[in-house]
Every structure is written in C-alpha cells, then in structure tokens.
Amino acid sequence: MFLSGDLQRIGNYGTEGEDEGEGDFLNHYSITPLLHQSVTLWDDSKMKKPFLKLAGICKRFDKIEALRHVDLEVAADELLVVLGPTGAGKTTLLRTIVGLEQPEAGRLELGGRDITELPPAARDMALVFQNFSLYPDWTVRRNLEFPLRAPGRQESRHGSFPFRSHIAERVQWAADLLKITPLLDRSAVTLSGGEMQRVAIGRAIVRRPRIFLLDEPLSNLDAKLRETLRVELVCLRRELRTPMIFVTHDQVEALSMADRIVVLSSGRILQTGTPAEIYRRPVSPEVARQLGQPPINILEVRRGKRVWLSADDTPVMPGKSRAPRGTKEMRLGIRPEDIRTEGGTVEGIVRVVEEVGPEKILLVDWAGTQIHILPQTDGQWQPGDKIAPQLDREKAILWPVGTS
C-alpha cells in the first residue's frame, strides 16, 4: 500500500517500501465510532461535488494508450467501482490519480483544487495494491505506526509524549475497527493471508486519507473470505464516510459493493451508472458481457412482419420495440433469467442442465444458436427435452449492428 508518508519516504531514501501494495479489511459488522481528527489539513465539509474530478486524462506507455480521454467524477461519500478485464487500464488509472504516473494530457481536481502537478505525498490519498506486503520483521503494531512516523508526517516530527500518545491512539482505533488487536505484537511474517489483508488496510486508514484507492485487494483470498470482506469493506467505508475507488475484474464485487460502476476497456470508459443501470441498460454488448452469470445471450436479428427474426428466420420476439424506425438489422441481448421455458412459438432442445445449488442453468439449442436460460420456476429438465423459450420483450435490449 502506498501512503503519502510512504511515498515521501521512497522519494527521500530510495526503494525501501517500494512495493507497499496491499489491501484488506475487517471481521465484524458493528463498526467502532471514529476518533476525532486532531489536525485538519483540508476542510472537506465545504467542498462541493464532485469531490474528485478527472477531465480528459490520457496516458501512454510507448505506443500503448493506457488511458484515452478519461472523464470521471467521484462524489464526497461514494464507493465507485471500476470494472474491467486485465489490461483495461484500471491500475494505471489509480496510479495516475495518486500521482505515481503523470498524464500526458488532462486535469485532476481534488476538492476543487488542481492536483495534476502535485507530488503523491501532497495529495493525501491511500493506495492499496493487490499484492499486499508488510515489513515482515516488524510487528503488526510497528507496521500500523509507520505511516504516522514516516518523514513528512506531523506525527513524526515530535517525540513528545502527547504525540506518541496520539500515534498509539490512532493505532488502537484502527486495530479495534479491523478486529486485529490480538495481533498487534505478532510479527507480520506469522500472519495468514486474511490477517495480512486486515493489517494492510489498517495502514491505509490509520492516517485518515481524503480518499481510498484499492486495486483488486481481495483477489488473493479464497472465495469465502472474499465474500465476508466485501460486506465488511462496504460497512467500513460507510462508517468512515470517506470516498473510495475500488478496482476489480470481478462482477460480483462490482454489483454487490458499488454505489456506481465505471466500465473500463482498453483505456476507455464505456459506461458509468448504478449497478442496476449497467446491468439492465448496458450501452453495448461489450458492457453487457461484463456483468451476469451465465452471460447475456446475444442474437443477430432482423425485422420481419411484426416480429424479429434470427439468422435462420426463426421468430424470436414480437417486432414492436424501441428500435429506431426503419432499422432492419439489430443485435438482441436478453439475460438468461428473462427467458421463460414455455409460452414461445418455436421449440428448442435442452442440451445441458447445470445444477448450481438452488438454481438450474439450461443450455438450449434454439433459433439457430445456443442460449442460456435461468428458469425462475421449479421444473425438472433433462438433456434432450423440448421446450418453447419465450423472451421477455420488456427486458430485451436492442443494439445497432456493428455495436461491439
């Protein structure tokens, strides 16, 4: 995790602490009340929205355009999730926001102040990377104290008892919040992955940054722990009331955690909206494929007489729709849960039945292609069964041909 204090230390002393990338969280749902901050360097209470603003940000690495004209706003009390595949530019975006990368074009504002040229230590942000790393020969307590004792921090400039007491108070607050108090005197090298995650997050929150930036901090944990920490992280952010940008490739994390989602691909923002907006009204098939399991069904269709026809002329849906007048060919998207197994006019053949806990997923040959159906009613299906799929016209999405 790179903190402003860590970054200043790197600048002054070389490479020590260079890979401070981590991320992790709590183990409870009842959050301890915050201590009042004794020193206020920024008065965020008077800041108008947006709290963080990026305008026209471009970043290149040789011939690769990592970020292409990125426009982004984050509110003062918001958890914004950036969703995208590997290589989308997610990490570069966070590194540019925190100041580890300098954009070739564009402007960054924090609380209405231009920070484009500010060094990382002056931005008062906490960046937590996927590969959390602590100083292994230090205790948990010393790891938590480090951001407060690093050169450039006010707490590090005073050796008097009140300031030492202030550091101890901050560390104890973070440890209680994250339920790691019993670990304070243990060496970091003895910790489990989940415990290391919690200590890493503690290093980020202990100095109260203006904004949290998290780069896939849950990716190295097992599925059960990820699920627990997703919920706890949301609770933590709401309690701290500090804006957060959370980067992930995991659609479950995006849908379950976000106030808003930004879909990023090849350095471009494809769509921004609430989880429901992105899921139900994706602007393109590429955005639609980012969310949903099983994935959305996409069919090439053309307009017939009062009906949409598939590539093999199978009528798949009544033709009255929100498609532009005169449009004959479209791409039709329909979520698996929005297809009934009966009521249609053309039969299909069930090829595969997947039992997924309380749900069943059907893979069906229909309309010259294969579609997934997630039945919303109980039923017993076997491979080879014939069904008559019916699409929910109100939930179908139509895109112009050529939309990726």
Least confident of 17-21, 142-146, 210-214, 291-295: 17-21
Task: Give residue 85's pLDDT.
Answer: 95
Please state which CATH class domain 2-287 belongs to: alpha beta
Tokens at 274, concatenated: 């609430």
Among 89, 113, 98, residue whose Cα is nearest residue 212: 98
DSSP annotation string for 253-308: HHHHH-SEEEEEETTEEEEEE-HHHHHHS-SSHHHHHHS-SSPPEEEEEEE-SSEE
- pLDDT of residue 110 exceeding 90, the answer is yes
Domain boundaries, the chain: 2-287, 293-400
Measured between alpha carbons, how far is residue 329 from residues 155, 193, 309, 313, 318 in Å? 65, 52, 9, 12, 14
Confidence band (pLDDT; 50, 70, 90) for 131?
confident
- Mean pLDDT across 329-335: 95
- pLDDT of residue 2 exceeding 70, the answer is no
Q: How many residues does the chain have?
A: 404
- Whole-model pTM: value is 0.81
Measured between alpha carbons, how far is residue 253 from residues 141, 218, 256 in Å? 30, 9, 5
Task: Give residue 327's pLDDT.
Answer: 66
Domains 2-287 and 293-400 share a fold: no
**d(C-alpha 131, C-alpha 21), whole Å:** 5
Domain spanning 293-400 has what CATH number?
Answer: 2.40.50.140
Task: Give residue 224's pLDDT.
Answer: 85
CA distance from start to end of the chain:
36
**Beta-strand (E) ranges in 169-267?**
211-215, 244-248, 260-265
Contact 140, 184 (CB under 8 A): yes
Task: Give residue 220's pLDDT.
Answer: 80
Contact 379, 317 (CB under 8 A): no
